[in-house]
Structure 1
Amino acid sequence: MKAIDFGNKLTEKNNCYYYLRTIFSKISIKHNIVCLLLALFFITAPLKYNLNSISVILLLGYSVVKYKDFKVKKFWEFYPFYLYYFIVCFSIFYTANIENGFKYFLNQVPFLIFPFIFSTITVKEKALKKIIRIYIYWICALIIYSELSTIWSILANGDSLFLLFRKDYSYIDLANKIDIHPPYMMLQVSFCIIYLISNFKTSSIHKFLSIAILLLMFFYSVHLSSRMPLAALVLVSIFLTYLKFKTPYGKIKTVFSLILLGLVFSFILFNVRSTRYRFQELIGMQYSNGVYIKSGYSKIIQWESAIEGNKNFIFGNGAGDANQSIIESNYKNNLLKSARLSYNAHNQYIQTYVGIGIIGVVILLFLLYSSFLQPSKKLLYLTAKAFIIYLIIVFMTESYLERHHGIMFVSFILCLFNSKEDR
């Protein structure tokens, strides 16, 4: 009978153990790096452009290093994104202002970068849940900082705290505390609210924390005084809440609860004067100093003027000439304030139409439609549907794809929605 060499067996076992440990260690490190980079993107999303750009460069750099993980099939599933980017690139050839055209070409590059990144990295649902939770806490911290900074400014100026909801301490001034334009902050706050409602669990021990965060974010949304984003958020939230709670609580109880919440929201809206006045301005309002504002009609005139700026129905004037064409049309139509302040169309569909024509608008709508139909991760399934509906609505008054905060966040989130389930 052959003797057993226990020494060799033990060595072989140790080698096996070391090999497996090394593999799991590498997987863990690789996974942690991806989570860290994604968390960094979310944290820098509401901050200054350069910080967020650094996070994107790091994500891209990591994806390039891990090019062997790149999945061609997965990349082709993002074709609406680079189809949109292709039409932007094509418009550079007939853009008169080449410098602006090249800048626009670079600004829209996230529609090509993020599909590549999400075709290379793997995001597990459990990890994504933690990352989004960190992001929500971060947005809460920025909200509290913004509100406290505003209160400090009021006290420093020797004013009464009753002026907290006046226009000069709300809207643009409130968002400026964290160096971001109100609609772009609303974009990120809206994502958080929609995510929290979509993933709200009545039996969870975190439900009271979720309710507290939702109340804080809704209050801040009203205080930001950004009209269409707020209106879209309320509409989507009502519909989402009804879908989410009609089964566990029943339709009647859910509707009754929504009515009560609507009354509370209306009370807050009425008492936040800056927001209430901005909504009243839509139909016409005269202030005590004699100034009369009817911004609803003015907005329609502004849109008509922007549409007139397009000289090519099919292909548009060229992405780099869109803003200049709108400014010239505003001068021509005697919209001097809009022209002097270099306002864009304040409507993403019209802005796209002027720059890359009706083809661009169709492709943009197709991008949103295909993203809506994509089978997103289970965690984001309801969030994706609701947030895309929100985008379709707010694009009617906001040109989100013209500034860094909008381009980066919208393209990133849509690609995240389009990424397949990774368990």
Structure 2
Amino acid sequence: MPIFLYALMVCSLLWTENFEDTKDGLQKEVLFFLMPFVFLGIGPLEHRQVERIFKIFSFSMMLYAVFYIQRAVFNFLATGETRFFFYHDLVSMDLSAIYMSVFASFGMFYFISREQKSKLDQTCTVVLALFIVLLSSKVLIIVNVILFVCYYIYRSKTSSSVKRFTLLTSIGFFIFSFLFIPKIQERFLHEYETAFVDNTVNMEIGDAEHMIYNLSLSQAWNDQQFESNNFLPGTALRVFQIRIFTEMLTEHDIFFTGFGFDASQERIREKVKQYNLFYGNGEFNFHNQYVQTFAEIGIFGLLILLGMICYSLKKAFTTKDFMYIVFSLTMIILFLTDSFLSRQRGIIFFLTLYCIFTTKSGIEGQRKQL
């Protein structure tokens, strides 16, 4: 399926609105074509091989977490500012707290899912859990809590008393983080307040002389005109992007073809200008992988993408492979809030795991799904 998706991206060169952007984007996405052939050449992966790959990746993420937490401590001691412990300040905007949260989450669940946990495994789990909380990605934290609870209820072979203790301790840790760590509390409460209350004042990027007002979800979806000092918080931005995409569907003949791969950004800029929003909003993509794919390569591209993740989810539950379930559910939910496949690190992570899990089985029919 990744090969078919890439073939459609290439075909979009025939109708794209921006040939150069599409051509450049195809270079970034070429792994959709190459990686399936690599895994088909390798052949079915044995369980011990997959286990080794996940082990190396997970320990590497633990080392990354230790490095960035130590760096935050050093910056805090040098400046006295706690912001270095949280979100993009912890890992830098370029690395992205969301991407690092995804990678760290997969590593954490690898250690959680091991039947025989050593002291080192338990330590790595705690370090990665702390790292994920500090990264403060709201969606990933919620998804991780749900997966963690489900694992200990349905999959863990430990005694009931140990399960209860582990669940209560872990949930207590997240509740404590929410209640007593201001930066984390602020991110959740700020999102809640701005989502449902119109025109709240944003003091982070504005001041008494230059007032900035947050737009609510209702405003982002319904208002016909905005002001240049209006700000779209995370969820409101995503609602607005979906709104303008629905408008693009009615205004342009893109249902079957899209604008061309990687060629939708100019249309977003036009919408931002039309609604009189701050021009910087025009540099954001759709922040939704399903919408991004639909807008750029049409309904058939969206159906291929949905086919890939539905196949993964079905096989994950059929094989009862917990790590496969973690991967599938995380991607399904993450694609709703981020254009994860717009960055090469997202492409590599998604395709590598998709191909690993698909070729892990020796059934030939499953390998054809590549």
Normalising by the smaller structure, the TM-score range is 0.7 to 0.9
Which among 341, 354, 357 is matched to residue 417 of structure 1? 357
Distance in 2 separating the partners of 1:394 and 1:88: 22
Counterparts of 1:4-43 in structure 2 under 5 Å?
A: none
Q: Percent identity?
A: 23
Aligned match of 1:184 = 99
User: In the TM superposition, what is the alpha-carbon distance from 1:335 to its structure 2 partner?
Assistant: 3.0
Which among 56, 72, 75 is matched to residue 134 of structure 1? 56
Aligned match of 2:297 = 356
Q: How much is the aligned-residue C-alpha RMSD, in angstroms?
A: 2.7
Aligned residues of 2:259 and 2:296 also touching (Cα < 8 A): yes
Tell me if 1:234 matches 2:145.
yes
Aligned residues of 1:309 and 1:328 also touching (Cα < 8 A): no
Structure 2 gaps of 5+ residues are 195-200, 217-232, 363-370
Aligned match of 1:124 = 46
Distance in 2 separating the partners of 1:305 and 1:259: 43
Look up the equivalent residue of 1:397 and give its one-letter code.
T
Structure 1 gaps of 5+ residues are 1-79
Aligned match of 2:264 = 322
Distance in 2 separating the partners of 1:298 and 1:176: 21
Aligned residues of 1:222 and 1:272 also touching (Cα < 8 A): no
Tell me if 1:334 matches 2:255.
no
**TM-score where L is the length of structure 1:** 0.70
Distance in 1 separating the partners of 2:202 and 2:127: 30
Change (3 A) 1:137 1:248: closer
Aligned residues of 2:47 and 2:360 also touching (Cα < 8 A): no
User: In the TM superposition, what is the alpha-carbon distance from 1:130 to its structure 2 partner?
Assistant: 2.5
Secondary structure of residue in 1 paired with 2:21: helix
User: In the TM superposition, what is the alpha-carbon distance from 1:321 to its structure 2 partner?
Assistant: 1.3
Distance in 2 separating the partners of 1:103 and 1:377: 39
Aligned residues of 2:288 and 2:336 also touching (Cα < 8 A): yes
Distance in 2 separating the partners of 1:298 and 1:421: 40
User: In the TM superposition, what is the alpha-carbon distance from 1:406 to its structure 2 partner?
Assistant: 0.6
Look up the equivalent residue of 2:310 and give its one-letter code.
Y
Tell me if 1:403 matches 2:343.
yes
Change (3 A) 1:207 1:169: closer
Counterparts of 1:49-198 in structure 2 under 5 Å?
A: 80-122=1-43, 123-157=45-79, 159=80, 163-164=81-82, 166=83, 169-176=85-92, 180-197=95-112
Aligned residues of 2:289 and 2:339 also touching (Cα < 8 A): yes
Change (3 A) 1:376 1:244: closer
Distance in 2 separating the partners of 1:277 and 1:261: 21
Deviations 1:171-226, CA, capped at 9 Å, x for gaps: 1121129x5111111121111123223x321xx2x433222211111111111122
Look up the equivalent residue of 2:266 and give its one-letter code.
Q
Distance in 1 separating the partners of 2:342 and 2:268: 13
Distance in 1 separating the partners of 2:213 and 2:150: 35
**TM-score where L is the length of structure 2:** 0.80
Aligned residues of 2:316 and 2:324 also touching (Cα < 8 A): no
Distance in 2 separating the partners of 1:171 and 1:248: 34
Look up the equivalent residue of 2:269 and give its one-letter code.
I
Aligned match of 1:263 = 172
Which among 138, 152, 159 is matched to residue 249 of structure 1? 159
Deviations 1:33-59, CA, capped at 9 Å, x for gaps: xxxxxxxxxxxxxxxxxxxxxxxxxxx
Distance in 2 separating the partners of 1:361 and 1:156: 48
Aligned length: 328
Distance in 1 separating the partners of 2:128 and 2:268: 35
